[in-house]
Structures are given as C-alpha cells and as structure tokens.
Amino acid sequence: MTTDRIVRIVAGLMIMLTLALAHFTGQVDMSKVSWLWLTAFIALNLFQSGFTSFCPLDTVCEKMGVRRAK
C-alpha cells in the first residue's frame, strides 16, 4: 500500500468521524437534507478510493487531458 492510498483512507475516515461526532453531539442534524451530505459523499469516496484506486475525479481529469503525477 502506498502513502497516497493511506492518506486517502485516513482523510476519508477523519471527515466521516467529524461528521458523526457533530451529529451525535447535537451540533448538526444529519437526518435532514443538507450540504453536509455532499461532505459525507466525498469522505466515503476518499475512503473507498484508498482501497480500490477508483476515483471519479481521476476519471474526469483524465478525460480532460490532465496528466498523471509520477
């Protein structure tokens, strides 16, 4: 496993953890539709991309002609 993948996994976990803590301490209500669900989607996407190496933004950037980092 590379550092890039570990960073994605940890970043996704930290975002999901902070959203969960904010919800369970009563600071936000995740049961209602809000922009925080976009944040949750991004966190889950980061987490899964660390394991699967599939990221939708990678695909979009590739189709736009953006070169990959070495």
pTM confidence score: 0.82
Q: What pLDDT score does 65 carry? A: 96
Model confidence at 30: pLDDT above 90: no
Identify whether 69 is part of a domain.
no
How many of the other CB atoms lie within 10 Å of CB of 68? 7
Identify whether 68 is part of a domain.
no
Percent above pLDDT 90 for the chain: 81
Domain that holds residue 42: 3-63
* d(C-alpha 12, C-alpha 33), whole Å: 21
When divided into structural domains, the chain yields a total of 1
Identify whether 41 is part of a domain.
yes
Cβ(47)–Cβ(13) below 8 Å: yes
- Structure confidence at residue 41 as a pLDDT band (50, 70, 90): very high
Contacts of 16 (CB under 8 A, 6+ apart): 40, 43, 44, 47
Q: What is the mean pLDDT of residues 15-36?
A: 92
